[in-house]
């Protein structure tokens, strides 16, 4: 079968692979475009495997939502340059939609979900072949309830979901923005682990001056309790000053609106991944034979 320019163009548009790769795929498969697609996928798999051990700590947090449910997905790349590539962005956003619609609750299930005539994993492998970097779907977070779910993405780098009982969508989004900005480790002071409370007590005792230690025991206890409460509020969503109204605490805003935060999720790109630090000066000197 003759391998025409229009056939190569069609395969290129469908696969996202380079022109020469598409032509070779068609030649290898006698012009059968479906077989050529499979050939490219297999080729992409080989390339993806070679790149799988590279550290992918850049990328995007993407979100998809519908009434009462929302998902966050972290898709990683090796460089920020690829994270901004339109093919990478389109893939990440498509994966988020698949995650929402498929009901997947973990990455492995998401990878096996249907996407673009194949699976999410096959689409990932094809993207690796196209952008030339390791691309990984690292995390999936989901909230599905009968409540209002607030969702917020900040610059593609931070994503937040908030499960809000009562209140409204505006408040839910505002709270999601607050979590993105302030990153509270805990929902409320009551949820702070006992060992953290004990550590704050030790710090409060160590900070007491000789003058404070000379005061009656009951006064000392009140001073220590005050410092502990302040510290616990600083690490708790409800105890923090609300970023959209710093004259009020989140707890006060929730009380005013008759609302309650049942939980929240915050993902930031690359958190917890040990990034490789490249010494470019040393690399240049090595290549120049000076090191």
Q: Average pLDDT for residues 239-249, to the nearest whole number?
A: 95
- Better pLDDT: 96 or 275: 96
Q: Tokens 């389109």 sit at which residue?
A: 90
DSSP string, 60-84: EEEEEEETTEEEEEEEEESSHHHHT
In 3D space, the residue among 43, 57, 41 whose CA is nearest the CA of residue 135 turns out to be 57
**Is residue 46 pLDDT above 50, yes or no?**
no
Q: pLDDT tens digits for 49-94?
A: 545 556 667 999 999 999 889 999 999 999 999 999 999 999 999 9
pTM of the model: 0.74
What's the count of helices (H) and strands (E) in the chain, helices before strands? Answer: 13, 10
Structure tokens at 15: 């696969």
Return the pLDDT at 249: 97
Query: What are the structural domains, with CATH classification, of the chain?
Result: 5-51 (1.10.8.10), 58-144 (3.30.479.20), 189-264 (no CATH)
Residue whose C-alpha is closest to residue 29's, from 67, 3, 54, 55: 3
**Higher model confidence: residue 270 or residue 170?**
170
List all residues 6 or more positions away from 2 whose beta carbon is below 8 Å from its beta carbon.
Answer: 31
């Amino acid at each position: 079968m003759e391998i025409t320019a229009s056939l190569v163009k069609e395969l290129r548009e469908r696969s996202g692979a380079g022109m020469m790769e598409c032509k070779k795929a068609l030649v290898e498969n006698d012009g059968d475009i479906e077989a050529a697609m499979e050939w490219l996928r297999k080729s992409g798999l080989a390339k993806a495997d070679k790149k799988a051990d590279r550290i992918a700590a850049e990328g995007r947090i993407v979100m998809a939502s519908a009434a009462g449910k929302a998902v966050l997905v972290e898709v990683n790349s090796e460089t920020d340059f690829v994270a901004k590539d339109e093919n990478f962005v389109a893939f990440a956003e498509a994966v988020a939609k698949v995650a929402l619609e498929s009901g997947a609750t973990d990455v492995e299930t998401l990878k096996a979900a249907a996407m673009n005539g194949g699976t999410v994993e096959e689409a990932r492998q094809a993207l690796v072949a196209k952008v030339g970097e390791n691309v990984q779907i690292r995390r999936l977070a989901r909230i599905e309830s009968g409540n209002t779910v607030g969702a917020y993405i900040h610059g593609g780098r931070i994503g937040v979901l908030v499960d809000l009982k009562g209140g409204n969508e505006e408040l839910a989004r505002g709270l999601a923005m607050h979590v993105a900005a302030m990153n509270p480790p805990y929902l409320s002071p009551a949820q702070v682990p006992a060992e953290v409370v004990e550590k704050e007590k030790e710090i409060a005792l160590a900070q007491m001056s000789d003058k404070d230690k000379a005061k009656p025991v009951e006064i000392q206890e009140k001073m220590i309790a005050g410092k502990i409460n302040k510290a616990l509020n600083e690490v708790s969503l409800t105890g923090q000053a609300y970023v959209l109204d710093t004259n009020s605490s989140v707890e006060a805003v929730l009380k005013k609106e008759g609302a309650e935060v049942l939980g929240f999720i915050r993902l930031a790109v690359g958190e917890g991944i040990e990034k490789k630090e490249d010494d470019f000066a040393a690399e240049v000197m090595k290549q120049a034979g000076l090191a």
